[in-house]
Amino acid sequence: MTEAKKEGKNEGFEPNIVAFCCNWCSYAGADLAGVSRFQYPPNIRVIRVMCSGRVDPSFIMKALKNGADGVIVTGCHIGDCHYISGNEYTKERFERLHSIIIKQLGVNPKRVRLEWVSASEGKRFAEVITEFTNDIKKLGPFKR
């Protein structure tokens, strides 16, 4: 999976984005975005997990391999994890994934992101997703 380096014109490109949200903070933040009617692009498909610590790097790889143009993992802020320390492992694993696999495989690291969103950050959830979607749109389709 080596990615072509060009960033072309991507008009009309609607990326496929997989988002993993932990149940306790970031999924709740996504709900609050809804309750507050903060609008964001409709490209993401959320997969709810109990804790961001559940997100196995293989899920991210699978998504990229099968046609996702971007993958975003969201969890509670460090220190806030409902399971005490799950997100610390997420972070560790994620950093490893970023530095080794993504770079070695030539995937643009911008396509995979980790963000912390709390249950009261509805606005932030919408902003993070908007920004991520726009970034992916700029990058263009992920050519495998």
Partner 1 sequence: MEGAVLVIGGGIAGIQTSLDLTELGFKVYLVERTPSIGGRMAQLDKTFPTNDCSLCILAPKMVEVFRNPNIELMTYHEVKKITGKPGDFTVTVLKKPRYVDETKCKGCGDCAAKCPKIEAPNPFDMNLGKRKSIYIPFPQAVPPIYLIDPNMCLMLTKGVCGVCKKVCKADAIDYEQKPQDIEIKVGAVVVCTGFDMYGEELSSRWGYQYQNVVNALEYERILCASGPFEGHVLRPSDHEEPEIIAFVQCAGSRDLHENVPYCSSVCCMYTAKESIITKEHSENSKCFVFRHDIRAYGKNFYEFTQRAQEEYGVVYFQTKISTIEEDPDTNDLIIHYEDLKTGEFKDFRANLVVLATPLVPSNGSKELGEILGIELDNYNFYKEKSYFNKLTSSREGIYLCGFCQGPMDIPETVADASGVASQVATLLSPVKYTQVKEKIYEIPEKEVKYDDEPRIGVLVCHCGINIGKYVDVPRVVDYIKTLPNVVQCEANLYSCSSDSQERIKQVILEKNLNRFIVASCTPRTHEALFQETCQEAGLNKYLFEMVNIRDQCSWVHMTEKEAATEKAIDLLRMAVAKARLIKPQKEEKLKIEPSCFIIGGGISGMTAALNIAEQGFKAYLIEKEKKLGGNLNNLNILYPIQEDASIILKEMVEKVERNPNIEIILESKIKDIKGYIGNYDISLQDTNNEIKELKVGTIIVATGAQELKPQGLFQYDEKNKNVITQLELEQRLQNEDKSWLNEIKRVTFILCANARQKEGITYCSNVCCGASIKNIDILKELKNDLEIVALYRDLQMAKKEFEEYYRNRRKDAMFLRYDLDNLPQVNKAKEEQYKISVFDTNLQDTIEFETDLIVLATPMIPADNLKELAMMLKVPLDRTGFFLEAHVKLRPLDFATDGIFLCGCAQWPKNIQDSISQANGAAGRASRFLSAGEITTSGLVAEVNPDKCIGCGKCEDVCPYNAIELIDETKEFEDISIVIKKSSINSALCKGCGTCAATCPVGAIMVKHYDFDQIGAMINTYLLEKVKN
By CB under 6 A, name the binding residues for ligand FES: 22, 24-25, 51-53, 75-76, 81-83, 86-87
Please report how close the Cβ of residue 129 comes to partner 1 at its closest, in angstroms: 9
Q: Which residues pair with 20 in a beta bridge?
A: 47, 73
Instruction: Give the neighbor-by-neighbor strand order of the sheet with 70-75.
Output: 44-49, 17-22, 70-75, 112-116
Applying CB under 8 A, among 10, 16, 91, 141 the residue interacting with partner 1 is: 16
Q: Is 121 helix (H, G, I), strand (E, B) or coil?
A: coil
**Cβ-Cβ contacts under 8 Å for 25 (sequence gap 6 or more):** 75, 76, 77, 80, 81, 82, 116, 117, 118, 119
Beta pairing, strands 17-22 & 70-75: parallel
Measured CA angle at 128 (ends 103, 34), to 5 deg: 140
**Contact characters 60-99, partner 1, x per CB under 8 A:** --xx--xxx-------xx-xx-xxxxx--xx--x------
Q: Pick between residue 75 and residue 122 the one whose CB is nearest to ligand FES.
A: 75
Please report how close the Cβ of residue 118 comes to ligand FES at its closest, in angstroms: 9
Question: What is the binding site for partner 1 (CB under 8 A)?
Answer: 14, 16, 18, 23-25, 27-28, 30-40, 42, 45-51, 53-59, 62-63, 66-68, 76-77, 79-80, 82-86, 89-90, 93, 118-124, 126
